[in-house]
């Protein structure tokens, strides 16, 4: 069965697959389900390397040159024939980086050589200046280095024809320098992903307008905007849509027609899901899940036409947690990335942790340095509406389903925010 058919079947009849229970999905299972429906955007573009930071390579990069391009000296010193090292050597000239020694080296001769300078023909070893003694034109070696010492060989870093960056590699600053070092001015990358997002909720008001009784400011569009900007996608803010079927239908269809991905926040919790479910069942294949996690229990994922749809829970922390735990990796896959895993590691937690076994929790943590060691503490209260906890935090403390309450001093898994995107 192809992926589209599987999605259709799961959307129509959730009991069709053995290990699939939309009301009890683990975080890992949900990630796996989403991952199988993703493939990179088709279009690619050729871009100057300065424009490519954060883009994914659409083709491997192969070196057309050797690096280094010639045998060169790793030291300031003297280049000589190792077999003649026991006698004082006659200075025959000097080799500078970018200005080689062009003479013919006589028997018993040596060349003063600078770091990076081309090794003259016939010479096999370089001795560092500090291990020599010069008197007039005669140079004696106080310490004889091993044959071939202090010479960087042609192609020892990168050889002609070697693949230096694989397809799907995300361009980092070092890669931009590396590409330049190979004389490569342009590379082929996947085009930017077009992502539309909107909020849902009658209670929401946009910043800049006064609040009436019972209304709240729409914050999700701003945190989503920030997370999407950090990923380097082409993000479009479609505003706040009222809990009105017609308005939602119009926005969803328009967004799906013109974007690779549509993200909504709110409207997928138990009370509101039926309404969204009907709408999405009419136009696409969308799965509604209750995930064994906290915060961020309800989540919808599926296809609306050619577009991928993510329905995130509306609580501001839940929106961010579900984005980081599910949407970010999915977007990276669609962007063409070969690696989407977020780094995590174990560290001692100085706070006691309140938790009941059963769900994976993403508590907000602060990594800090205590003396020589990094430790983590929680941000305190962990309510899913408390966006200040995300703002104070610099990491998630990831507590798996089996974990219960922990005393202070336990080792916990953390996912740092920086480096996470
Ligand atoms: P929902 O998922 O629509 O049931 O929303 C859950 C909670 O999150 C409710 O208290 C909403 O008022 C709140 N909420 C939903 N969307 C937003 C938003 N865009 N900004 C701030 N709070 C929101
Ligand atoms: Mg709502």
Could you tell me if 62 and 179 lie in one domain?
Answer: yes
Q: What is the CATH number of the domain that holds 131?
A: 2.170.190.11
User: What's the CA-to-centroid distance between 244 and ligand 1, angstroms?
Assistant: 15
Q: Of the candidates 316, 335, 354, which is a domain's last residue? A: 335
Residue 421: is its pLDDT beyond 70? no
- Whether the CB-CB separation of 233 and 331 falls below 8 Å is answered with yes
Could you tell me if 280 and 375 lie in one domain?
Answer: no
Could you tell me if 229 and 316 lie in one domain?
Answer: yes
The Cα-based distances of 152 to 160, 261, 314, 365, 394 in angstroms read: 16, 49, 58, 47, 43
- Binned at pLDDT 50, 70 and 90, residue 119 comes out as very high
Residues 51-67, mean pLDDT to the nearest whole number? 97
Could you tell me if 279 and 212 lie in one domain?
Answer: yes
Residue 402 DSSP one-character state: T
Flag whether 37 is in a domain. Answer: no
Residues 29-35, mean pLDDT to the nearest whole number? 96
The predicted structure's pLDDT at residue 392: 97
Q: Of the candidates 132, 165, 190, which is a domain's last residue? A: 190
Q: Average pLDDT, whole number, for the chain?
A: 95
Flag whether 7 is in a domain. Answer: no
User: What is the per-residue pLDDT across 208-223, written as a single tens digit (0 to 9) for each?
Assistant: 999 999 999 999 999 9
Flag whether 103 is in a domain. Answer: yes
Q: From atom 12 of ligand 1, which residue's Cα is the shortest distance away?
A: 203
Expressed as residue numbers, the domain containing 98 is 72-152
Flag whether 241 is in a domain. Answer: yes
The sign of the dihedral angle between the CA atoms of 253, 255, 260, 266 is negative
Which one of the ligands is nearest to 197 CA?
1
User: What's the CA-to-centroid distance between 312 and ligand 1, angstroms?
Assistant: 10
The predicted structure's pLDDT at residue 242: 92
User: What's the CA-to-centroid distance between 37 and ligand 1, angstroms?
Assistant: 28
Could you tell me if 360 and 386 lie in one domain?
Answer: yes
Residues 138-143, mean pLDDT to the nearest whole number? 98
Cis check: omega of the bond before 352, within 30 degrees of 0: no
Could you tell me if 353 and 283 lie in one domain?
Answer: no
- Whether the CB-CB separation of 333 and 41 falls below 8 Å is answered with no
Q: What is the CATH number of the domain that holds 238?
A: 3.40.980.10
Residue 74: is its pLDDT beyond 50? yes
The total of structural domains in the chain comes to: 4
Residue 420: is its pLDDT beyond 50? no
The predicted structure's pLDDT at residue 1: 78
Lowest model confidence (mean pLDDT) among 10-14, 58-62, 311-315, 357-361 = 10-14
Flag whether 38 is in a domain. Answer: no
Q: Report the DSSP beta bridge partners of residue 393.
A: none
Residue 372: is its pLDDT beyond 70? yes
CA atoms within 13 A on the CB side of 316: 19
Instruction: Tell me the two tokens of residue 91.
Output: 């200075």
Residues 111-138, mean pLDDT to the nearest whole number? 97
Higher pLDDT, 421 or 129: 129
| Closest atom of ligand 1 to CA, residue 313 | 2
Q: What is the CATH number of the domain that holds 167?
A: 3.90.105.10
The predicted structure's pLDDT at residue 347: 98
Could you tell me if 208 and 329 lie in one domain?
Answer: yes
End-to-end CA distance of the chain, in Å? 33
Could you tell me if 212 and 280 lie in one domain?
Answer: yes
Could you tell me if 364 and 312 lie in one domain?
Answer: no
Flag whether 165 is in a domain. Answer: yes
Report yes or no on whether pTM surpasses 0.85: yes
Residues with CB under 6 Å of ligand 1 are 199, 201, 203-204, 216, 218-220, 265-267, 269, 272, 313-316
User: What is the per-residue pLDDT across 235-284, written as a single tens digit (0 to 9) for each?
Assistant: 999 999 999 999 999 999 999 999 999 999 999 887 777 788 888 999 99
Residues 348-364, mean pLDDT to the nearest whole number? 97
User: C-alpha angle 259/197/9, rounded to 5°?
Assistant: 65
- Binned at pLDDT 50, 70 and 90, residue 419 comes out as low
Residues 104-120, mean pLDDT to the nearest whole number? 97
Q: From atom 16 of ligand 1, which residue's Cα is the shortest distance away?
A: 314
Residues 142-160, mean pLDDT to the nearest whole number? 97
Could you tell me if 197 and 244 lie in one domain?
Answer: yes
User: What is the per-residue pLDDT across 270-323, written as a single tens digit (0 to 9) for each?
Assistant: 777 778 888 899 999 999 999 999 998 999 999 999 999 999 999 999 999 999
| Closest atom of ligand 1 to CA, residue 219 | 20
The predicted structure's pLDDT at residue 210: 97
Flag whether 23 is in a domain. Answer: no
Could you tell me if 238 and 375 lie in one domain?
Answer: no
Flag whether 35 is in a domain. Answer: no
User: What is the per-residue pLDDT across 190-208, written as a single tens digit (0 to 9) for each?
Assistant: 999 999 999 999 999 999 9
Q: From atom 10 of ligand 1, which residue's Cα is the shortest distance away?
A: 315
Q: Of the candidates 152, 171, 206, which is a domain's last residue? A: 152
User: What's the CA-to-centroid distance between 19 and ligand 1, angstroms?
Assistant: 31
d(CA 127, CA 110): 10
Which one of the ligands is nearest to 206 CA?
1
Could you tell me if 408 and 384 lie in one domain?
Answer: yes
What does the buried/exposed string (b/e) look like for 67-98 if buried means 16 or more CB atoms within 10 Å of the residue's CB?
Answer: bbeebbbebbbbbbbeeebeeebeebbebeee
Q: Return the closest-CA partner of residue 400 out of 140, 9, 112, 28.
A: 28
User: What's the CA-to-centroid distance between 313 and ligand 2, angstroms?
Assistant: 8
Which one of the ligands is nearest to 264 CA?
1
- Whether the CB-CB separation of 299 and 360 falls below 8 Å is answered with no
């Amino acid at each position: 069965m192809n992926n589209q058919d599987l999605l259709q079947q799961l959307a129509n009849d959730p009991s069709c697959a053995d290990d699939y229970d939309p009301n009890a999905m683990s975080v890992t299972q949900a990630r796996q389900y989403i991952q199988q429906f993703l493939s990179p955007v088709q279009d690619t573009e050729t871009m100057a390397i300065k424009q490519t930071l954060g883009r994914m390579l659409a083709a491997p990069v192969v070196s057309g040159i050797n690096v280094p391009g010639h045998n060169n000296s790793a030291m300031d010193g003297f280049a000589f024939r190792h077999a003649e090292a026991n006698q004082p050597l006659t200075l025959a000239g000097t080799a500078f980086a970018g200005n080689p020694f062009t003479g013919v080296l006589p028997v018993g001769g040596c060349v003063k050589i600078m770091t990076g300078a081309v090794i003259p023909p016939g010479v096999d070893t370089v001795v560092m200046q500090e291990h020599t003694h010069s008197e007039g034109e005669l140079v004696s070696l106080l310490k004889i280095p091993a044959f071939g010492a202090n010479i960087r060989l042609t192609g020892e870093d990168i050889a002609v024809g070697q693949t230096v960056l694989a397809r799907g590699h995300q361009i980092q600053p070092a890669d931009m320098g590396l590409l330049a070092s190979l004389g490569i001015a342009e590379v082929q990358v996947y085009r930017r992903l077009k992502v539309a997002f909107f909020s849902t909720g009658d209670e929401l008001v946009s910043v800049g307008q006064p609040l009436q009784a019972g209304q709240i400011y729409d914050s999700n569009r701003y945190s989503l905007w920030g997370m999407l900007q950090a990923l380097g996608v082409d993000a479009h803010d479609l505003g706040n849509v009222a809990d009105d079927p017609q308005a939602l239908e119009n926005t969803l269809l328009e967004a799906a027609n013109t974007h690779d991905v549509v993200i909504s926040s709110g409207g997928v919790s138990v009370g509101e899901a039926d309404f969204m479910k009907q709408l999405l069942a009419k136009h696409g294949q969308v799965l509604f899940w209750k995930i064994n996690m906290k915060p961020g229990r309800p989540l919808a994922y599926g296809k609306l036409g050619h577009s991928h749809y993510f329905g995130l829970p509306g609580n501001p922390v839940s929106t961010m947690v579900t984005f980081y735990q599910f949407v970010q990796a999915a977007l990276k896959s669609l962007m063409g990335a070969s690696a989407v895993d977020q780094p995590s590691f174990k560290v001692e937690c100085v706070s006691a942790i309140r938790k009941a076994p059963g769900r994976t929790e993403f508590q907000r943590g602060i990594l800090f340095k205590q003396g020589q060691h990094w430790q983590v503490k929680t941000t305190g209260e962990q309510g899913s509406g408390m966006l200040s906890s995300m703002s104070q935090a610099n990491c998630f403390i990831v507590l798996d389903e089996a974990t219960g309450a922990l005393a202070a001093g336990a080792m916990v898994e953390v996912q740092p925010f920086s480096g996470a995107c």
